Every structure is written in C-alpha cells, then in structure tokens.
A = this chain, B = another copy of it.
Amino acid sequence: MERTQGRRDDELRPVEIVRGFTPNASGSVLFKAGATTVLVTAQISDSVPPFLDGKGVGWLTAEYAMLPGSTPTRVQRRTDGRATEIQRLIGRSLRAIVDRKALGPCTVHVDADVLNADGGTRTAAITASFVAVADALKRKFGDRAGTILRDSIAAVSVGIVAGRPVLDLDYPEDSTADVDVNVVRLGGGGLVEVQGTGEGGVFSRPQLAELLDLAEAGIDRLATLQKEALGADWPWPA
C-alpha cells in the first residue's frame, strides 16, 4: 500500500493555518490538513450558562457542523449523534487548557465548521480551535491571555490501515482502517483524551502503544506549527 502523494506512515498531511480569515469574529482560523478544511471561529460573550451564575468562573463551549457541500454527496444540516459526540470532545478538550477562574464570568464560544471533509475533521477542529481561542483571548484580554490559557493543545488521528500503523488518516484510509485512535494532548505533554475504536476489528495493548507513539510525534509537529502561526501572539514568553 502506497499512501496518497507518497506520504510516509509517520508523516502529517501538509498543514495550512490562516488566522483572521474573517473579520467579524474575534478569532477566525481557516485550517487545512491536506484537503480537510475547517473554519474555526472563537467569540467571547460576557455571560455564563445558568449553572455557573454567580460563581465567578467562566465557560467554554463548542459546536461542530459539516457544511452541506463539504462531502462529495451533500450532507444535511443537522446535529446528529456523530456531531454531538465531536462537539462535546472539542469543548472538553479546550476546557482542559482554560483556567476558568482566570477567565472570569465569560463564555468562549468555539464554532468549527467543516468546509471540506477528507478525514480527521475533529482533530483538525481541535488544533485550529487553540489558535482561534488564543486570538480571541488576546484581542479581549491582551497579555492576560497567557494566564488564562495553561498550555497549547493539539490533536491528531492515528490508525491501523492494511495492517500498518499510520499517522493522520485521510478519508480513504479512515474508511478502511481496522483501528482508529484520536489523541488530544497538551503542547507540553500530558494526554487529555485517548479515544480508540476497533472499527470492525480489535486491537492489542502493544498496537495501542505503537499508535500513541505515532500520535505524540504528530502532535509535537502540530504544536510547532501552531506556535509558528501565532508568532508574536503566542500567549507565553518564547
């Protein structure tokens, strides 16, 4: 099996991160990993959900959707089970890096819309969200963004395709994978989520370890790309 465009098994697809893609949202990032294209916006409102009223801490919430034209066959606009699962994952992951006390009584709204889908949209959404949230916090809070955020966060998918562990599956790979693991990790190390699924197959402990090795290397690379994209707006001292 040859990977598309001759990718090595441990190689990410080409990544492109465009900040400020649209002007109205405080944070707006167009993120491409190969043909997968996600637009993530971050907006901050000065209120919190009812269950946090008067507690002085903030919240972060996420929504995820696929635009109808994002796949070769049109998809309907609706929040199905898969989308629900993904937006919960995005929200949980991003909350892991937000010091909600330092944030204060605000809500960060993250919206990830898939403009074109070619595998790995949920992990792309998480990686892009970090950049969008950093931008939005910077615009509102200036240098305090670096105390509200604890670390950077990024995610990638790994899987066993045709018997071989590979990094960053595109759609054709994903749809034939025996095992699929999504990994979310802090830039500085520290796993936030590991979601491994035997899609029609099962996996062993050693296979899981090998996949996590691949994923961690990929996340290291994504963390570097996030830092390069943010440049002088990286929330912490370089």
Contacts and interface: CB of A to CB of B under 8 A. Distances in A.
Interface of A: 21-25, 28, 35, 37, 39, 41-43, 45, 63, 65, 67-74, 77, 81-82, 84-85, 87-88, 92, 96, 109, 111, 113, 115-118, 181, 186, 189-198, 200, 202-205, 208-209, 212
How many identical chains are in the complex?
6
A190 B204 contact: yes
Contacts of A189: 204
A36 to B, nearest CB: 10
A81 B81 CA distance: 8
Given A88-B85, A208-B194, A22 B203 contact: no
A109 B22 contact: no
Interface of chain A, helix or strand or loop or mixed?
Answer: mixed
Nearest to A96: B198
Most buried by B among A113, A191, A195: A191
A183 to B, nearest CB: 10
Nearest to A196: B194
A68 B197 contact: no
A117 B24 contact: yes
Given A24-B117, A45-B74, A205-B212, 11 more contacts: A23-B35, A24-B35, A24-B70, A24-B118, A68-B111, A84-B84, A96-B202, A181-B194, A190-B198, A190-B204, A192-B198
Given A84-B81, A96-B198, A198-B191, A41 B69 contact: yes
Contact of A115 (B39, B77, B118, B192): B39
B200 A96 contact: yes
Nearest to A171: B24
A190 B212 contact: no
A195 B192 contact: no
B186 A193 contact: no
Contacts of A22: 37, 69-70, 115-116
25 contacts: A22-B116, A23-B35, A24-B70, A25-B70, A39-B67, A41-B68, A63-B77, A81-B84, A81-B85, A81-B88, A82-B88, A92-B197, A96-B198, A96-B200, A189-B204, A190-B203, A191-B203, A191-B204, A191-B208, A192-B198, A192-B202, A193-B198, A194-B194, A194-B196, A194-B208
